[in-house]
Amino acid sequence: MTKTFNYSNPVEIVFGNGRIGELNRYTKDKKVLLITSHGFRERGIIDKLGETNQFEYILDNVRPNPTLSQLNYQYETIKNVDFDLIVALGGGSVMDTAKVLSLQTKGWEYTEDLIKYASGKVADDKITPIIGVPTTAGSGSELTPWATVWDDANRKKYSLHLKNLWFKTCICDPEMTYSIPMNITIQSGLDALSHALESIWNINANPITRQYAVSAAKRIIVTLPKLIRYNNDSFYRQEMMFASMQAALAFSNTQTSIAHAMSYYMTLERGIPHGIASSFTLPAIADAVKGRSEEVDNDLLDIFGEAPSNVLRGMLNEIGVSHRYGDYGIDEEDWNKIEESLSLTNRTQNSIVKFRQVLDCLKSSSN
């Protein structure tokens, strides 16, 4: 066991069925900006929240994988709105958008300055407090201090990471996940599994993150296939949200690793949904890490038993997700470009194995 380590996560967690009813405890006497996506207005959820909460403005045009151009437009939309609290209702893209728009600045060139922040500039500006209400069990963004931003013009991905970008509170109500489509349930669940495993084969892992990660992964491999058959089962929805929370508590301190580093190119250039892009490589990575760390071997044995990669492939097959990269249209040229792209993210450096070791296992398992 590691003898010295640090662990910190300052976010208040409010967990359980029906806890969304307590949102007004946090919004009372506040000037609230609600950030969400249009689907929640269509499904009547915004109107229901509006019965007990007052919103100064509702920004409901968040789309998947927020881009610099979208964020610039959204900033121009709300920069003159007087608000002192943000409520972020949605999945990871909504959470990331809320973090970016929480930066309170005066007279800046939004796109240009955002890139500076994402490149490591420390913010002196006021950051508006955020209450997160996740509606997917997967992204974990409500428990981390960074946001993913896509530069659609220059085909790049940025990670906005500021030390004070943590949410104030997240309300994790499993009932909020009932209305999401099955494909999003699968993708977000696999993202959570990837978060858990990525925080295990990670040079930043410590005893606390390992405990969270192992528990999360155990829950997900049992629960996610059950949700395919019992979509709105209260117990399984609660188990998935709890597992997602545990995975986030793990990777909020380790960051992600090689699977996520490889996934960014796949999402940006091949349009593969993030949850799939960050998870179909997991069986090959499990093979690649075998024997490289006693702690990692023991954790994977605890989660999967004697054959981790086989269990992972079996689970992916059960939920209809291929582990073969050829099924996603990825070829040798793509792998070369993915290898080049890894220099643009520090997530690669968190891995206990190298890219080529993973690629060898990917090719072997895809034959």
Residues 240 and 142 in one domain: no
343 or 12, greater pLDDT: 12
298 with 226, same domain: the answer is: yes
Task: Identify the CATH number of the domain in which residue 248 sits.
Answer: 1.20.1090.10
Give 50-64 pLDDT, tens digit per residue: 888 899 999 999 999
pLDDT at position 122:
47
> Whose structure tokens read 């410590």?
206
**223 assigned to some structural domain:** yes
Under the banding of pLDDT at 50, 70 and 90, the label for residue 344 is: confident
Q: What percentage of residues in the chain have a pLDDT greater than 90? A: 73
Residue 133 sits in the same domain as residue 196: no
Residues 6+ apart with CB under 8 A from 72: 110, 111
Is the confidence at residue 142, as pLDDT, over 60? yes
Are residues 227 and 344 both part of a single domain? yes
3-state helix, strand, coil in the chain (%, to 5): 55, 10, 35
Domain presence at residue 247: yes
Q: Are residues 298 and 222 in the same domain?
A: yes
Question: What is the chain's Cα-based Rg?
Answer: 20
Q: Is the pLDDT of residue 69 over 90?
A: no
Give domain status of residue 106, yes or no.
yes
Give pLDDT, residue 237. Answer: 97
For the chain, give the mean pLDDT.
Answer: 91
- Is pLDDT above 90 for 134? yes
Q: How do residues 346-358 score in pLDDT, each as one tens digit?
A: 889 999 999 999 9
Of the listed ranges 14-18, 138-142, 269-273, 346-350, the least confidently predicted one is 346-350
* pLDDT score, position 104: 67
Asked whether residue 32 is domain-assigned, the answer is: yes
pLDDT reading at 281 higher than 90 = yes
* Full-model pTM: 0.94
Is there a single domain that holds both residue 167 and residue 229?
Answer: no
Q: Do 188 and 327 have their domain in common?
A: yes
Please write the tens of the pLDDT for every residue from 328-342. 999 999 999 999 999
Can you give 82-132 as a three-state secondary structure string? CCCEEEEEECHHHHHHHHHHCEECCCCCHHHHHHHHHCCCCCCCEECCEEE
